[in-house]
């Protein structure tokens, strides 16, 4: 079976829910909870819970938060290669408002010290058909190395270009067969890599204009996640991944949102799992599946713990919940 290997961040999330997001200078009363997160770890948990053979490669500090990460991963039966660093385990501050919208600030901590050896741990034995998943929430050198090595081995490479990271460059995009920015990350890519002063808003943009921008950005498939507006897909003309159209929109699942934090990770993890488990299915079906997995995650609080299993999807969406 094809495997999903995720190289990326672990973060201990500290979450506050409040009626509204605090304005600058404002203090608000809210409820507190804490749990495992980090874009890379969330994506690995999402893929693993959906039944893909999954490995996570990341960094921790030598501290109690690192122990929490290890024990959560063990409970998930998630295969992990952890690199211990002298920096503390990463931590975030997340505020979620009554509409489920969030504000996140993350201290990268150990993620910023992810060593070059992590790329080797992620790509050792990687083969054609496997999927290497990466993000931008760690030091970027091992991410580039892992993408390049996975590509050279014939594996599929998926980059979730999040969070917005000024260190992002064209080489990272060029090494990726698929990228999955959300709308703000996509607009950042247009500004940062194409120099657009007033980037297109992918929610309101004309499909052909958006497709043309995607083609300028990447030689691979671009999937822009649009929250409640679903997703936009743009393929290179010669690699349609089983689709008949080179660009199209996929609607979001109808859900009762309480917390959107980690929904993009649910999407990327589910898309990777679907690619591993159903490599011959039309890509549009895989994106629809990932939209449902992401939607379901927004009906639950937290990040890694909010990821769906196939049984959850079946119970929530009926037979249509699965591929």
Which residues of the chain form contacts with ligand RIB (CB under 6 A)?
A: 11, 13, 37-39, 42, 92, 104, 106, 137, 261-262, 264-265, 303
Q: How far is the CB of 73 from ligand RIB (least distance, A)?
A: 14
**Between 265 and 312, whose beta carbon lies closer to ligand RIB?**
265
Q: How far is the CB of 72 from ligand RIB (least distance, A)?
A: 12
Cβ 172 vs Cβ 160: under 8 Å: no
Could you confirm whether 265 is annotated as catalytic? yes
**Between 221 and 261, whose beta carbon lies closer to ligand RIB?**
261
Q: How far is the CB of 15 from ligand RIB (least distance, A)?
A: 9
The whole-angstrom separation of Cα 155 and Cα 177 is: 9
**Between 96 and 178, whose beta carbon lies closer to ligand RIB?**
96
The whole-angstrom separation of Cα 311 and Cα 313 is: 5
Q: Cβ-closest residue to ligand RIB?
A: 37
Long-range contacts from 311-319, C-beta under 8 angstroms, 24+ separation: 316/292, 317/253, 317/292
Per the residue annotation, which of 97, 130, 259, 265 is the catalytic one? 265
**Between 181 and 264, whose beta carbon lies closer to ligand RIB?**
264
Backbone angles phi, psi at 75, to 5 degrees: -65, -30
The whole-angstrom separation of Cα 211 and Cα 247 is: 6
The whole-angstrom separation of Cα 105 and Cα 22 is: 13
Q: What is the sign, positive or negative, of the torsion defined by CA atoms of 301, 111, 188, 197?
A: positive
Question: How many residues are recorded in the chain?
Answer: 323
Q: How far is the CB of 39 from ligand RIB (least distance, A)?
A: 5
The whole-angstrom separation of Cα 121 and Cα 318 is: 38
Which residues carry out catalysis? 265
């Amino acid at each position: 079976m094809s495997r999903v290997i995720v190289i990326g961040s672990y973060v201990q999330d500290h979450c506050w829910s409040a009626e509204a997001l605090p304005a600058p200078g404002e203090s608000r009363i809210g409820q507190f909870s804490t749990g495992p997160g980090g874009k890379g770890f969330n994506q690995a948990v999402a893929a693993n819970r959906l039944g893909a053979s999954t490995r996570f490669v990341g960094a921790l500090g030598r501290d109690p938060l690192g122990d929490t990460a290890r024990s959560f991963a063990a409970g998930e039966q998630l295969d992990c290669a952890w690199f211990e660093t002298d920096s503390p385990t990463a931590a975030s501050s997340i505020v979620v408002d009554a509409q489920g919208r969030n504000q996140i600030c993350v201290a990268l901590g150990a993620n910023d010290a992810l060593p070059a050896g992590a790329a080797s741990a992620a790509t050792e034995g990687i083969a054609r058909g496997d999927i290497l998943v990466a993000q931008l929430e760690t030091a970027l050198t091992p991410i580039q190395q892992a993408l390049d090595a996975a590509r050279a081995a014939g594996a599929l490479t998926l980059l979730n270009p999040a969070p917005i990271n000024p260190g992002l460059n064209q080489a990272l995009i060029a090494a990726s067969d698929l990228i999955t920015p959300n709308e703000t990350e996509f607009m950042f890519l247009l500004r940062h890599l194409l120099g657009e002063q007033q980037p297109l808003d992918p929610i309101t943009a004309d499909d052909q204009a958006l497709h043309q921008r995607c083609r300028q950005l990447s030689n691979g498939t671009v999937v822009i996640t649009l929250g409640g507006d679903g997703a936009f897909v743009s393929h290179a003309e010669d690699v349609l991944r089983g689709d008949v159209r080179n660009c199209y929109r996929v609607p979001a699942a109808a859900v009762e949102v309480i917390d959107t934090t980690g929904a993009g990770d649910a999407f990327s993890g589910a898309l990777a799992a679907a690619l591993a488990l159903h490599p011959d299915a039309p890509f549009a079906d895989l994106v629809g599946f990932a939209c449902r997995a992401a939607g379901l995650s927004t009906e639950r609080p937290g990040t890694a713990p909010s990821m769906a299993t196939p049984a959850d999807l079946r119970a929530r969406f009926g037979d249509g919940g699965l591929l």
